[in-house]
Amino acid sequence: MRKLIVGNWKMNGLGAALGEAQAVAAGLGEAPARVGLCPPATLVERMARGLAGSAVRVGGQDCRAEASGAYTGDVSAEMLADAGAVLVILGHSERRAGFGETDALVSAKVEAALRAGLEPIVCVGETLAEREAGRALSVVTGQVRGSLPAALAGRDFSVAYEPVWAIGTGLTPTTAQIEEVHAAVRAELRAVLGESGERAPILYGGSVKPSNAAEILSAAEVGGALVGGASLKAADFLGIIAGA
């Protein structure tokens, strides 16, 4: 299966940045990978319009579990889909840590995404303190078990392993460390979802850049990458895609 490479723009990008998305689409050619871009909510609709007919799929970075209601400031999965999104990142560590998102809440958001027809990318990952305490595998497999609802069986989705200490730091785990966690995630996915857990790509995220992408993407059970900073510039993101 072709790798899935998704860019997470986080809270970056005004209208002028849409040119980068267009440049990604224009530069893909016979892309060796499936590609997605998740801009801030304000840009989802414009980016989706601009990329219509291209191979780049657009996604949101979060959604509320409810479809609508008195939730000032929030965006629902249905709203993202209505704006042209087909993907949504859920349970990112910046949401788990900054907004107190629990596995149960992430699981409810995944159900909302499926209800709206979005393909969820569910993020998991340990902190440095958890890794140093020898708890990386138990934390990550616990997040997989708690964040993935049974409703994912038979649906398209992916899991992104993003060690918190590798996000935005320039640090990356060794290939052996990535392979160890990805193997544990795969085993947990199989246990929770059976055959559907066998098919879902497991992405790696955390300081992926053009210079390390090929090595990371060739590691066992790495089905793609979730890219933050290096997805903001088309040249860098295309360089990562070229490593797939």
Touching ligand 13P, residues 74-103 (CB under 6 A): 92
Residue numbers annotated as active site: 92, 162
For the beta carbon of residue 70, count every other beta carbon within 10 angstroms.
Answer: 6
Of 137, 124, 133, 200, nearest in space to 163 by CA: 124
Task: Establish if 19 lies at the interface with ligand 13P (CB under 6 A).
Answer: no
Rounded to the nearest whole angstrom, what is the least distance from the CB of residue 106 to ligand 13P in the complex?
Answer: 14
Only one of the segments 22-30, 51-59, 201-209, 215-223 lies at the binding site for ligand 13P (rule: CB under 6 A); that segment is 201-209
Q: What is the token pair recorded at 186?
A: 């795969």
Q: Which residues pair with 36 in a beta bridge?
A: 6, 57
Q: Site for ligand 13P (CB under 6 A): which residue of 36, 84, 224, 228?
A: 228
CA distances for 176 relative to 46, 116, 219, angstroms: 40, 37, 8
Rounded to the nearest whole angstrom, what is the least distance from the CB of residue 92 to ligand 13P in the complex?
Answer: 6
Closer to ligand 13P at the Cβ: 39 or 229? 229
Q: Site for ligand 13P (CB under 6 A): which residue of 3, 4, 5, 8?
A: 8
Task: Establish if 168 lies at the interface with ligand 13P (CB under 6 A).
Answer: yes
Closer to ligand 13P at the Cβ: 103 or 162? 162
x/- letters, 40..79, toward ligand 13P (CB under 6 A): ----------------------------------------
Only one of the segments 100-108, 126-134, 175-183, 205-213 lies at the binding site for ligand 13P (rule: CB under 6 A); that segment is 205-213
Q: CA-CA distance, 152 to 173, in Å (whole number)?
A: 28
Of 115, 43, 112, nearest in space to 84 by CA: 43
Rounded to the nearest whole angstrom, what is the least distance from the CB of residue 36 to ligand 13P in the complex?
Answer: 12
Touching ligand 13P, residues 116-135 (CB under 6 A): none
Task: Establish if 227 lies at the interface with ligand 13P (CB under 6 A).
Answer: yes
Q: Site for ligand 13P (CB under 6 A): which residue of 62, 101, 119, 162?
A: 162
Q: Site for ligand 13P (CB under 6 A): which residue of 208, 222, 241, 244?
A: 208
Q: Site for ligand 13P (CB under 6 A): which residue of 148, 213, 226, 244?
A: 226
What is the binding site for ligand 13P (CB under 6 A)?
A: 8, 92, 162, 167-168, 205-208, 226-230
